[in-house]
Structure 1
Amino acid sequence: MRAILDTFSQVFRAIGANKLRSFLTMFGIAWGVASLLLLIGLGEGFRSGQRRSLAEVGDDVIMMFGGTIPALPNQHTGMRPYKLTLADAVAVQSGASHVRNVTALINRGDLKQVSEFSSSGGAVMGTQLSFPMIRHLPIAQGRFFDQDDLAQRRQVVILGQKNNALLFPGHPAIGAFITLNGYRFQVIGVAAKIGRGNNDGDNQKVYVPLTTMMELFPITGENVPEDAITSIQYQPITEKENEDAKADVHRIVAANHGFSPDLKDAWEEWDTIKSNQTVGMIFTAMDFFLGGVGIVTLALGAVGIVNIMLVTVQERTREIGLRKAIGATNRSIMTQFFLEGMILTGLSGFIGIAAAAALMAVLGSLLGNNQMGMDPPRLVPWSAAMAISILTLCGIVAGVYPASVAARLEPVEALRKE
């Protein structure tokens, strides 16, 4: 035990004897570790922020909109626009084997919303009962629509969080009335806040039953079907079946509108599953790149420690010769220099990890959880484990080689060195 304490005492005295050199060596390693962890932490913040933003839209949602059928070679017909219809949504619900939930909706942004206290704008959405199963719409007060609301085409409305504050400032909304382009609607529900930051688009929406919307505020225009809708939104049976689900829906809608489902330019849609996968691939590639940069940085730091330790061996040649002359073994000499390299590497790595964690905690408190597109950076366990593993390897390399050089010195030759 006493020998071990003496060895560590000699190690720390040797490190302290060259304070500036030791500081610069440790700073290089600490900087590399902190940079690696911070960059990966920022990347993971972006990744989780994008996932959360997509989750605010809904789980595994695919949205289809009306499009334009492109002109075909050797045919006299030109480009032809088409509108999705409620019949399309019904056909998808009954005929798409890879689809679990479907909702049709109408989106109108030109309807004036007025209460006895104020007026407001924002989108008016005609929705079905299945809408909350597909889209993220938490209800904070009251209720969502029921079957009777749609069957009887009731004039009832659910307010978004911001529209509630604008139309009923400081007053209860449930049971009160608003008008939409002069039609009187009763408020039966208020949605909770959706999204983060200042993006209030979803919070300024109001929702009415789709049947009521189609009766009072249908989509109109030249060659527009009576049951025209803005969008069909659906979910595949499982996330992995998104392409099969899209193929089913394309086949059904194309048959209803008289064109080939293979015409890629005819489809206007957004697949949130595919978007999420793309984002994941981008940030995984970034993690590999940043991890590679970090490995190279730490390897260069290890080379620096090897050089420093070799210089130290050169400077302390007489000391090594004297110690060996009075009985120090090769093992004890090698242990001392090996521990010096390991302690320099380990201590600087610990400082780098602690500094990165502290900086990410500060950034997290400054950014909060409401920044659009980004969560606060966080210390990723696998990156910390990788840093520790690389540091251990670097410490071994930085300690073993200089230590073996020191241990191989002959006492007589070492004592002759000036």
Structure 2
Amino acid sequence: MSRPPQSHTESDNVRSTTALAARPSSGLTAAERQTTLESMLQQFRIKRRGVGSSFGTSIGSAFEALWGNRTRSFLTMLGIFIGVAAVVASMTLTQSVSAYFTNIIEGLGANTIIIQPGSNSNRGVVSKQSEQSLTVKDVQTIEKINHVTAVSPAVVRSSQVVYQGQNWKTRIWGVSESFASIEGWEINQGVWFSQADDTGAQSVAVLGDTVAKNIFGSSGISPIGQKIRIGQGIYRVVGTLTPKGGFSQDDVIYMPFNTVMNRFGGRANASVDGIQLQVDNADNVTVTQQAVISALEQNHHIRAGQPDDFQIITSEQLLAQVQQETAIISVLLVGVAAISLTVGGIGIMNIMLVSVTQRTREIGIRMSIGARKKDIRNQFLVEAVVLCLLGGGLGLLGGLAGGAAMSAGFGMPVIISMVTIITPFAVSTAIALLFGIYPAVRASSLDPVVALRKPK
């Protein structure tokens, strides 16, 4: 390919540059001088071929400069990688947590009301009382309220479960026969216990999937009809539940409410750990909620203006609260990761300033053969952008892998949104422009005569 003819001035500039590059004071070997000179002359020859060619040359020079200082570039990029990976992992994890709890709450249905002991502060934090405030009498009162179709008290205990040498520590929930429909549990094998089992305090149990697998999984024996030891008593397994997945939701055993109260300590009017009820229609939830509040205030002798000693919340309110809390956690995690990104950005600026100092003579030579200030500025700015985008791209992959692993480890769905994918590149570019513009401007502001005179 023939070279375009050069003007007399350009030829003089090339000869002048060649003489400068050949000076012994440069400290470069002949091969290094030749490589550097050829690179600069190539840029000089194509600088007038268009914006695209100039930009491509800047990218090529950026990769050459970064590859020439591989270790330094890697350590600089590491700060961006860690920051972006932390942002992506935290966003993936919080989105997965939000989706997990949303699925659980939506599984309750829009006509579910949950009552817990303890007063509700202004910020929504439940303050547990020294004595539980909900009783069996409250359950009986709620059953008589209009639009209430199902009510279940709940008491929770912890105990060791043993079967033929296999043992597992889990939570024991004492609930009513209607609890399965309120919570949306599906039976995998067997049946749920009946109202007669609850009334007669029968020694029967329904196992969550985690418990069933840990107790019966290795033996291959069907749990249905088998007798297991829970605490000091023997209980017959009547059913197992379809897994819902996530955290410890499946690590549970459900037993009749009266059975748990009698076998694990309790009285007819003893306190309960919570009450769940179902309303006939979602449109009647608000009216029923107010009726329940009035009934419980009357039972607990709470006067007007005094704070309630219980918390009542609908599934929709619970969903809004969970989404608000996960949003707060997400902001906190991203804020912590932003600190790492800021440190990485400062590292970018520091390295680019060092690069400008070390390449002063190169800048002088480029400007002496026709490079404009914006060409020098763009070259260093492109180097910063390339460095940040490489770190951001690798951080995206690392963050997605880390977030997916944590989400899957907790049994939650892995949620990856477009925001999660776009954010690293937007953040990386912003950091490059923010922290790379000053070194780039400083490089373009150098006086070529002074730059050429600087000793190597």
Q: Is the structural similarity TM-score above 0.5? A: yes
What is the distance in 1 between the residues matched to 2:134 and 2:234? 26
Q: Does the 8 Å CA contact 2:376/2:443 hold for their aligned counterparts?
A: yes
Kindly provide the amino acid, as one letter, of the partner of residue 269 in structure 2: P
Q: CA RMSD in A?
A: 5.6
Q: Does the 8 Å CA contact 2:206/2:241 hold for their aligned counterparts?
A: yes
1:311–1:44 distance in 2 versus 1, CA, 3 Å: same
Q: Does the 8 Å CA contact 1:11/1:340 hold for their aligned counterparts?
A: yes
2:376 to 313, 337, 342: 337
Matches within 5 A, 1:251-270: 251-260=294-303, 263-264=306-307, 266-267=309-310
Q: Does the 8 Å CA contact 2:246/2:410 hold for their aligned counterparts?
A: yes
Q: Does 1:173 align with 2:223?
A: yes
For residue 72 of structure 1, what is the aligned residue in structure 2?
none
Which secondary structure state, in structure 2, belongs to the residue aligned with residue 205 of structure 1?
Answer: strand
Q: Does the 8 Å CA contact 1:105/1:126 hold for their aligned counterparts?
A: yes
What is the distance in 2 between the residues matched to 1:195 and 1:58? 14
Q: TM-score, normalised by structure 2?
A: 0.59
Q: Does the 8 Å CA contact 2:161/2:229 hold for their aligned counterparts?
A: yes
Q: Does 1:32 align with 2:72?
A: no
Q: Does 1:129 align with 2:178?
A: yes
Deviation (angstroms), 1:340? 1.8
Give structure 2 stretches of 5+ with no counterpart: 1-44, 120-129
- Between 296-305 and 264-273, report the one with greater CA deviation: 264-273
Kindly provide the amino acid, as one letter, of the partner of residue 394 in structure 2: A
Which secondary structure state, in structure 1, belongs to the residue aligned with residue 409 of structure 2?
Answer: coil
Cα deviation 1:227-274 (Å, max 9, x = unaligned)? x7542135899x9xx999977644321212322375547337899654
For residue 212 of structure 2, what is the aligned residue in structure 1?
164
What is the distance in 2 between the residues matched to 1:365 and 1:130? 33
Paired positions, count? 381
Kindly provide the amino acid, as one letter, of the partner of residue 31 in structure 1: L
For residue 329 of structure 1, what is the aligned residue in structure 2?
none
What is the distance in 2 between the residues matched to 1:119 and 1:15? 60
What is the distance in 2 between the residues matched to 1:47 and 1:250? 33
- Between 341-350 and 52-61, report the one with greater CA deviation: 52-61
1:246–1:280 distance in 2 versus 1, CA, 3 Å: farther
1:111–1:249 distance in 2 versus 1, CA, 3 Å: same
What is the distance in 1 between the residues matched to 2:356 and 2:104? 57
Q: Does the 8 Å CA contact 2:84/2:337 hold for their aligned counterparts?
A: no
Q: Does 1:225 align with 2:269?
A: yes
For residue 385 of structure 2, what is the aligned residue in structure 1?
346
1:350–1:320 distance in 2 versus 1, CA, 3 Å: same
Q: Does the 8 Å CA contact 2:192/2:206 hold for their aligned counterparts?
A: yes
Deviation (angstroms), 1:298? 2.0
Q: Does the 8 Å CA contact 1:83/1:225 hold for their aligned counterparts?
A: no
Deviation (angstroms), 1:14? 7.9
Matches within 5 A, 1:25-174: 27-28=75-76, 30-44=77-91, 46-48=93-95, 50-51=97-98, 54=101, 58-59=105-106, 63-65=114-116, 82-85=133-136, 88=139, 91=142, 94=145, 103-107=151-155, 109=157, 123-134=172-183, 137-144=185-192, 157-165=205-213, 166=215, 169-174=219-224
Deviation (angstroms), 1:295? 4.3
Which secondary structure state, in structure 2, belongs to the residue aligned with residue 380 of structure 1?
Answer: helix
1:20–1:244 distance in 2 versus 1, CA, 3 Å: farther
Which secondary structure state, in structure 2, belongs to the residue aligned with residue 260 of structure 1?
Answer: coil
Deviation (angstroms), 1:387? 1.6
Q: TM-score, normalised by structure 1?
A: 0.63
Kindly provide the amino acid, as one letter, of the partner of residue 287 in structure 1: V
For residue 205 of structure 1, what is the aligned residue in structure 2?
253
Deviation (angstroms), 1:279? 4.2
Give structure 1 stretches of 5+ with no counterpart: 69-78, 325-331
1:138–1:93 distance in 2 versus 1, CA, 3 Å: farther
Deviation (angstroms), 1:384? 1.0
Q: Does 1:283 align with 2:342?
A: no
Q: Does the 8 Å CA contact 1:67/1:267 hold for their aligned counterparts?
A: yes
Deviation (angstroms), 1:36? 1.9
1:292–1:116 distance in 2 versus 1, CA, 3 Å: closer
1:176–1:8 distance in 2 versus 1, CA, 3 Å: closer
2:437 to 385, 388, 397: 397
For residue 327 of structure 1, what is the aligned residue in structure 2?
none
Kindly provide the amino acid, as one letter, of the partner of residue 145 in structure 2: S
Q: Does the 8 Å CA contact 1:367/1:376 hold for their aligned counterparts?
A: no
Cα deviation 1:174-207 (Å, max 9, x = unaligned)? 46677998898572x311345556x5x8524134
Deviation (angstroms), 1:123? 1.4
What is the distance in 1 between the residues matched to 2:167 and 2:70? 69
What is the distance in 1 between the residues matched to 2:336 and 2:278? 34
Q: Does the 8 Å CA contact 2:150/2:279 hold for their aligned counterparts?
A: no
What is the distance in 2 between the residues matched to 1:117 and 1:18? 63
Which secondary structure state, in structure 2, belongs to the residue aligned with residue 172 of structure 1?
Answer: coil
Q: Does 1:384 align with 2:385?
A: no
Kindly provide the amino acid, as one letter, of the partner of residue 285 in structure 1: L
What is the distance in 2 between the residues matched to 1:80 and 1:364? 41
Kindly provide the amino acid, as one letter, of the partner of residue 423 in structure 2: S
What is the distance in 1 between the residues matched to 2:318 and 2:290? 16
